[in-house]
Amino acid sequence: MGRRRLLGIAAATIVPSVGNAQSSRVPTIGVLVVGAPGSEQFWKLFQKKMAELGYVEGRSIRYEFRTDRGQASRLPELAADLVRLKVDLIVTWYTPPAQAAKQATRDIPIVMALAGDPVGTGLVESLDRPGGNITGMAGAAAELSSKSVEIIREMLPGARRIVALANAPDPFSKPFLEYSRMGGAAIGITVDGKLIRGAESLDAAFREMESQRPDAVLIQPSLPRRRAAELAVQHRIPSVSLIRSFAIEEGGLMSYSPSEPEVYGRAAAIVDKILRGARPADLPVEQPTKFDLVVNTKVAKALGLVITPTFLVRADEVIE
């Protein structure tokens, strides 16, 4: 066999196949995200892992990136656009985009890069046997909301009442509140839930807290977190969320979240399996195994809080 023929075969093997169909066509991945802080980090880490797996943009993979730019009502339209483009696979970041993608197609494989409680929100039938065309990474965020309540008590031993702010349009809001309350009940903390339906509703929620100031506020990640962190500092209330960027970039006091490199790296590995012929229904939904605790001591000082060295030692990262 000639050298030119061998090189041709080698080049063909670089391009993965979808559904085991051998083709020189470069597969296209549609990416659908909510326009919230943290989406840039997801996109950076996901692309990095795809490159490590051998995918070169423009040569062996193409991307169609879509963001709702903070307007969740646009997600169905954006998902439908990706379906019209006949992308080979859709990657979603957060629960609302996954819901929109599921409503838009039952045929194109969908990989959740991060979604809270995909069983409880109806995205998949079960983690072990997702069924249909969806699989990926569960964010374990419902359980994290419960764990975060426990960590708040450890950070603030005198805490007795927490307000959990939930994003009303997000289907994850229900399990987020349920697990937050369960976590509080287990350790004697009252967790009051408030549904937020927009920016004005968020501001109003903090004004209402003036009369009965809670010991802390737990913020669902799909809310406008930066604004929530600003309001929390203005009203001198410790704030916590379930995504790392909240305590690092957005002005929140603390975050407890899955390790982003692990979660987005595993999502890319699942995409790779599907591009090589695996069926989403046969790939169990995975859960994160590593979690990061971040504490922002600059915010603590602004709130007049003293966080003990013992607690800070527990943190994976301390912002000073």
Give me the pLDDT at residue 7, please.
Answer: 35
CA–CA dist 94, 252 (Å, integer): 20
Q: Helix (H, G, I), strand (E, B), or coil: what is residue 283?
A: coil
Give me the pLDDT at residue 1, please.
Answer: 44
Percent pLDDT > 90 in the chain is 75
Q: What is the mean pLDDT of residues 84-95?
A: 96
- Return the structure tokens found at 82: 């990706």
| Global model pTM greater than 0.85 | no
pLDDT tens, 252-298? Answer: 999 999 999 999 999 999 999 999 999 999 999 999 999 999 999 99
Domains and CATH numbers, the chain: 17-139+259-289 (3.40.50.2300), 141-258+292-319 (3.40.50.2300)
Q: What torsion do the CA atoms of 272, 275, 278, 281 make, to the nearest 10 degrees?
A: 90
Whose CA is closest to 265, among 50, 97, 92? 50
C-alpha pair distances (Å), 161 with each of 141, 173, 180, 188: 21, 19, 12, 9
Q: What torsion do the CA atoms of 29, 245, 219, 253 make, to the nearest 10 degrees?
A: 170
pLDDT tens, 171-224? Answer: 888 989 999 999 999 999 999 999 999 878 999 999 999 888 999 999 998 888
pLDDT tens, 101-126? Answer: 999 999 999 999 988 789 888 999 99
Q: Residues near 59 by Cβ (< 8 Å), separated by ≥ 6? A: 14, 26
- Return the structure tokens found at 20: 């085991």
